[in-house]
Chains A and B, each alone.
Chain A
Amino acid sequence: MNTNAPALVIAGLHKSFGSLEVLRGIDLELAEHEVVCLIGASGSGKSTLLRCVNLLEPVDAGRIVLRGEEITARGVDVNRVRRGIGIVFQAFNLFPHMSVLENVTLGPRKALGLSRAEAEQRATELLRRFGLLDKRDDYPDRLSGGQQQRVAIVRALAMQPGLLLLDEVTSALDPELVAEVLEVIRELAAEGMTMLIATHEMSFARDVAHRVCFLDEGVILEEGAPDQIFGEPREARTQQFLQRIVEAGRL
């Protein structure tokens, strides 16, 4: 981790859906090349936080600053901001009417303005790297869940984002398919990709994260190094949460 200007700063972020206050003042900083894992119960606001960072949800209050630019400011071109941020969803959200190659080249071609040849070259390299090259002409429904999620990660990477958001990317997968997806993320972390990861995979978080944040009822209740959060959590709520995870056999 370096001590340069932070890649991402989230300050005093609030978000409500109707009368339900999902985020109640989130403060979080990510350094360049840092990997931060968000843990917490369902409904604690992890997904909403990620969607806010990608501007898929408008925020009610607070600021998000990406590499010095306040992206929550009025008049910011959201499409330009999103081109620099990759997001991978729990349910993959691949485009079912497009082949793998078309899924991966759509963004580079239409949002970045690359030619078809350039986009396909970039996609081919990425697909080869992640062992998906033989699937390039297949439609998503033909692939296993693990393959689909890896394609979704490749689709996000094809935009060459400076920040990658992962929203419980293994939660919809059969247990035996989780490992192949986590392996990809480990590789990205090792390469220095800046990532904000919402996850239920505690042992993975422990391995890959530089820092772990425990979200509870819309605030970051506790944050620290993985060893500290998982080894000696200070807050009672964190202890309770981890206790339940241990009982469920997930740690």
Chain B
Amino acid sequence: MALVSTAVLVTVVAVLVVRSPGWDEVKQAFFSREQFEKSFPDILSGFWTNVKIFLIAEVFILVLALGIAVLRSLPGPVFFPLRALAVIYVDLFRGIPTVLVIYILGFGVPALQLQGVPISPLFWGAVALVVVYSAYVSEVYRAGIDSVHPSQTAAARSLGLTHLQGLRYVVVPQAVRRVIPPLLNDFIGLQKDTALVALLGVVEAFRQSQIEVAATFNYTPYLATALIFVLLTIPMARFTDWLVARDKRRQLAGGAR
């Protein structure tokens, strides 16, 4: 039944779109097969740069953000300065537009011409993304840590574990499992924002498609780029769903194996 109704709807929409006035122009400008085939290989090789940026950046983000979240959870008056530092960091870098951070680091730091400091725009673009996304992701971790009931910490501490051991073995593992979906959400955000590094002159998928569009005044390369990004995120989302479901199954119904 669902199949039939879906097929009917899709057919109706398709017919309406194709028969509407101006469809031929739209098709030519956005869905040109010829342009697609011409530009796709270059865009795909540009996309490899995006992949490198977000894969490397994500590793640093996950580690740095967890560090910030842990700093914020430290108890007692002694650790006030560290807690304050973590709060300031998050407030600051969640507040500044990502584009600005990319400009400041990507153009600003190389312009200082400091010795031993890299001048690669690719490097500073990735650093800017790490700096901004760590602030977001640390808040995701923190929500996860806060969601673990204090009785878990009490149980860990009652065994003589230190605060950090309790976090490492008891609280954080549970927290991370709970926040996998929002972590993935931010990871997808990061994948898309790698396109911003193009503003520093790095030729990645988006920049490559801009070059193609500028040469032909045909917008198909943009659509091709969009397609590549979407094709990457969909399997990622399904993989996360599977990961979460597997974990739930294991804890609720299955044995250790």
Which residues of A are interface residues toward B (Cβ below 8 A)? 51, 54, 56, 79-80, 82-83, 85-87, 89, 91, 93-97, 99, 106-107, 110-112, 137-139, 141-142, 155-156, 159
Contact = CB atoms under 8 A, between A and B. Distances in A.
B20 to A, nearest CB: 55
Contacts of B174: 95-97
B158 A87 contact: yes
Contact of A137 (B170, B173, B256): B256
Question: Is chain B's binding surface mostly helix, strand, loop or mixed?
Answer: helix
B151 A107 contact: no
A192 B256 CA distance: 35
5 contacts: A56-B157, A79-B157, A106-B161, A139-B255, A141-B251
Contacts of A141: 251-252
A159 B160 contact: yes
Contacts, number: 79
Question: Which 10 A-B pairs give the minimum distances between C-beta atoms?
Answer: A107-B159, A83-B160, A111-B160, A93-B155, A137-B256, A82-B160, A87-B158, A93-B151, A99-B256, A79-B160
A97 B173 contact: yes
A137 B257 contact: yes
A14 B251 CA distance: 41
Nearest to A90: B151
Interface string B150-179: 011011111111100100011001100100
Contacts of A56: 154, 157-158
Contact of A95 (B155, B160, B250, B253): B155
Interface in B117-166: 151-152, 154-162, 165
B152 A95 contact: yes
A110 B161 contact: yes
A87 B254 CA distance: 28
A110 B161 CA distance: 7
A110 B255 contact: no
A79 B159 CA distance: 8
Nearest to B154: A56
Given A97-B251, A110-B165, A82 B157 contact: yes
Nearest to A91: B151
B144 to A, nearest CB: 12
Most A Cβ at <10 Å: residue of B151, B158, B256: B158
Most B Cβ at <10 Å: residue of A51, A80, A91, A111: A111
B154 A155 contact: no
A111 B161 contact: yes
Given A82-B157, A137-B257, A142-B255, 4 more contacts: A54-B158, A95-B152, A111-B160, A139-B255
Contacts of B160: 79-80, 82-83, 107, 111-112, 159
Contacts of B170: 95, 106
A24 B89 CA distance: 44
A11 B154 CA distance: 24
B256 A142 contact: no
Given A96-B251, A97-B174, A155-B159, A138 B256 contact: yes
B177 A97 contact: yes
